[in-house]
Amino acid sequence: MVRKGALGHRRVEIGSILSEMGRMVYGSSDARATALAQLKEQEGGDPFRILIGTILSQRTRDENTTKAVANLFARYSTAEELAAADEAEVKVLIRPAGFYNVKAKSIIRVSRQLLEEFNGRVPDNLDDLLKLHSVGRKTANCVLVYGYGIPAIPVDTHVHRISNRLGLVETKGPDETEKELTKKVPRRYWLELNDVFVRFGQTTCRPIGPRCDICTLRGACRYYREVVSPKRGKLDKPKLGGVSRANI
């Protein structure tokens, strides 16, 4: 459904946005699976593995997260095993994820915390998840969505960037973006939003060099309208005597 916004430009309902993004992403030759989506599929959505995988994914490319997760869980498969793990060995296993010194300490510590405070079970509510070491709102929401199938909106850099570019929100940080999206996006779309937005951010609406030419949402995109289109208009102006009209 398309409607007119206050400024007269096209605004597309979130359901249509997700549908169109999905068509671009899943029908593309360079469609990618996010690390968490892969982990959910491979591990049956095990909340512990989703938790550890999300911690490992922090400031890391998805392909490197996938390697680190595979290495780690081939050796330590439960909270009990990881809580008693040799830290030096864990560092080697998760090295592809980067920041492995800090992350090794974090995943061992959070495993011990699960055993000591939650009987070895990953909490299924936001408040308790936020009590865990190294767990912020994005990680907690990822566990809810990918581990438990509980509606939430994990906001990473992709979701934050795309939401602002499209004009769905005007926010300065991920936490503020999450707050605004939960107000504006119907709950029935929460489970799919992160996965679709992340894939779209990896393949089309990239942080540098967004592929606006192939994006079918550009007619409803604030970033395209306010940033990309004006620049292209100047570049496309015909020249007179070797001088661009933009310079006259």
DSSP 8-state class, residue 225: I
Q: Is 86 a catalytic residue?
A: no
Whole-angstrom Cα distance, residue 75 to residue 89?
A: 10
CA dihedral 21, 24, 30, 33 (to 10 degrees): 30
Catalytic residue of the set 40, 67, 103, 156 = 156
For residue 135, the SS3 value is coil
Contacts with 33 (C-beta within 8 Å, 6 or more apart), sequence order: 41, 199
Nearest by Cα to 199 from 27, 15, 32, 28: 32
234 by Cβ neighbours in 10 Å (0-12 / 13-18 / 19+) ranks as exposed
Catalytic residue of the set 40, 67, 138, 195 = 138
Contacts with 236 (C-beta within 8 Å, 6 or more apart), sequence order: none
Q: Is 4 a catalytic residue?
A: no
Whole-angstrom Cα distance, residue 236 to residue 200?
A: 28
Residue positions annotated with a catalytic role: 138, 156
